[in-house]
Structure 1
């Protein structure tokens, strides 16, 4: 009869994600996770098999959370350009300060290296773009791809903020996206 798990996989994966974000991808070892979770390294090896599978499971878990948060925010925000800005500002709040953002880029590197994680990223991009398209629909005037364009603008705003993080990331992103929407609405009205 198999032994009962003293800590569910979800809690272990949360601890693994915390290690990834706090100390970088190279710090995610069975020994470090054992120390962080209180489980034996051998138990963790039994559950996940390899460091690569552990990292992938932790990052897939993170994508699950991001999917859920994006869907929830997409339902809560009004289907307006202002709602699109509010959605992206809310998603930006998780980045915190510059050090957390920089560490997050190291985690993103791991997503880009793994085909399954890349596919999850592409799936999330498509979902986000559809939500943003819905928010921008009244100003689209038949133009396609505005949601993806806005998502790309958002990601660029995050990167540029990283070079000069003089104000909170949410304030910077909000200001940049409001300017983007103002240009989009003006362009749509003149078209």
Structure 2
């Protein structure tokens, strides 16, 4: 198969993310990416300079996607506690089975190691918390910072599901978040 003459950075990074999720962060090399995308390793080195730069660029692209998805779901969420639950259930879609979820934790490890990626995670926490706060804006009895509390509950429910992955992650998350809302805002 002839090599493509051009491939956008966006497409290259999408392929790089696929490799990271498929085989783990350490499997992303210029050689493995070259095989996957059809560009030469030298071309990839010219674009991304170092393996660390390539990995960071791929993970920053993933953060960009998550930011856009969070913004879209936040904009369309009902301004109710149920809307907040649905937003987080929708963000949980796509984790797949436990093996895929566990591989995702390896990606998270990379985010925690890199200060630039860690800052993106902190910024996303603020973005997600604000979107969730908006869902509770008309709920007079909602505690201050409910968005961050609920996002923390969501992250915990994902982890607990990972230890005992019975059923779909979305169902586990929804049950957990509904119990959380009922505990905070009994009807």
TM-score normalised over the length of structure 1:
0.93
**Equivalent-residue separation in structure 1 for 2:178 and 2:14 (angstroms):** 34
Paired position in structure 2 for 1:97: 97
Query: What are the within-5 Å matches in structure 2 for residues 152-167 of structure 1?
Result: 152-167=152-167
The total of aligned residue pairs comes to 184
**Could you say which structure has the higher helix fraction?**
1
Q: CA–CA distance in 1 between the matches of 2:140 and 2:64?
A: 30
* CA distance in structure 1 between the partners assigned to 2:166 and 2:129 by the alignment: 29
- The structural deviation recorded for 1:141 is 3.1
**Alpha-carbon offset, residue 139 of structure 1:** 2.9
Output aligned runs, 1:1-191, within 5 Å: 6-141=6-141, 143-186=143-186
- Unaligned 5+ segments in structure 1 are none
Asked whether the 8 Å contact 2:24–2:106 carries over to 1, the reply is yes
| Paired residues of 1:48 and 1:54 also in contact (CA < 8 A) | yes
Gaps of 5+ in 2: none
1:143 is displaced (CA, Å) by 2.8
Secondary structure of residue in 2 paired with 1:144: coil
CA contact (8 A) 2:136 2:142 kept: no
Deviation string 1:136-176 (CA, Å, 9 cap, x unpaired) is 22335373111100000000000000011110000110111
Greater alpha carbon shift after TM alignment, 131-140 vs 18-27 = 131-140
Instruction: Write the distance in 1 (CA, Å) between the matches of 2:164 and 2:58.
Output: 30
Distance between the aligned counterparts of 2:139 and 2:164, measured in 1?
32
- The 8 Å contact of residues 141 and 185 in structure 2, kept in 1 or not, is answered as no
- Say if 1:140 and 1:146, in contact at 8 Å, map to a contact too: no
TM-score by length of 2: 0.95
